[in-house]
Amino acid sequence: MANLLRPIFEHIQGDKSPLLLESNLVYKTISVLIHGAKLFYECGTRLWKFKGSEQAAAKEVFIGNLRLLEGELGDKKYFAGDAFGFVEIAIVPFGRWFYSYMTCAGFSIEEAAPNLVAWGKRCMERESVTKALCDPHNVYELVSILRKRDGVE
């Protein structure tokens, strides 16, 4: 199991910018997507870290964030149009967590944001993206370990 999780842990090592440290007060390890003053990653974490009303509230906010992203994407192939760009590089890693979010919180991201899911699949067709990101099931394995550690399961 440790070998499966190594890519995740290697990915989160290294220098941390002041903005990351300020924006990600608890973990200080994961890149964050900030919209307004809200942290996208933090909302996703609440989907697997909490149960009941706290999880339901996080799901509502998370789905709202997905719809916001989908609105920005519109009918374009990529956020900047026909070209794979910086926004894709910044956002596509969050898609590797979607399986964990859906499994833990019991909802469908594809129902909430079908165009965004299609965009994610297009991004994953790129060899450079596929090689750089870990498998969603490995992420879920990590989430399961964390949920057990935190007494969520």
- pLDDT tens per residue across span 86-111: 888 888 998 999 999 999 999 999 99
Is residue 8 a part of any domain in this protein? no
Residue 56, domain member (yes or no): yes
Instruction: Determine the Cα–Cα distance for residues 78 and 141; give it in Å rounded to an integer.
Output: 30
Domain assignment present for residue 123? The answer is yes
Q: Rounded to two decimals, what is the model's pTM? A: 0.73
Give the tokens for residue 13.
């090592």
10 pLDDT band, cuts 50/70/90, is: very low
| 112 in a structural domain | yes
The domain in which residue 141 lies consists of: 16-149
Residue whose token pair is 């969050």? 94
pLDDT above 90 as % of the chain:
60
Q: Name the domain count of the chain.
A: 1
Domain assignment of residue 58, yes or no: yes
What six digits make up the tokens of 150? Answer: 């935190």
CATH of the domain at 139: 1.20.1050.10
